[in-house]
Copies of this chain bind each other. A is one copy, B any other.
């Protein structure tokens, strides 16, 4: 493979980060499948780098729970764990609801609603063009706008870190293309509640929006049971 040594802004990206990004991408896409073995050696060979950046990338992947390290036994792509999903979901809800409440108390609700509706319009356009990538970018901007009006923009990276984890589950969804129209409707409902100044309603709708992933999770687990951690099976695989 050809690691793009160039960076966006002048200096090249560190190899360790490039390796991390590449492995991370492959894990999210299930090109690297759960329980698949990863070692310094195999990674360095696979990506044509030495073992130092491979090791650093693996360590960081393990910190972010994308890789399990079994001491002296090797590292493996982590299986999907409902526990991880639950934690990420819980934290994301807590944070986004708190951001929403604070943003609505900022006295700039009108301006925020205007910005949110602008994103919604963009999202409609992207759906028309079937530009899924831009759609999800605008989706993130939608949530990011709320963080900005809550005067807590630096919370966003933390939320994305959580979202990132949840996206691994999302990528497994059988209905490959999520129902984008539903997302737009939920965004509209949220904006409406904000405009009406109804905190409780806005919170309720935000939570429902964030929980939409659970509508698909059972289907995914039925279809790819091997990708999920199941206590018994895990014990067998670890032996």
Contacts and interface: CB of A to CB of B under 8 A. Distances in A.
A155 B56 contact: no
Nearest to A11: B71
Specify the main secondary structure of chain A where it touches its partner.
Answer: helix
Contacts of A155: 87, 90-91
Interface string A190-210: 000000000000000000000
Contacts of A83: 154
Interface in A125-178: 152, 154-155, 158
A139 B114 CA distance: 44
Interface string A82-117: 010011001101110111001000000000000000
Contacts of A11: 71
Given A11-B71, A56-B56, A71-B11, A152 B87 contact: yes
A26 to B, nearest CB: 22
Interface string A1-19: 0000000000100000000
Contact of A94 (B86, B87, B97, B154): B97
Contacts of A87: 152, 154-155
A114 B158 CA distance: 34
Contacts of A94: 94-95, 97-99
Nearest to A94: B98
Nearest to A150: B90
A94 B100 CA distance: 11
A11 B70 CA distance: 13
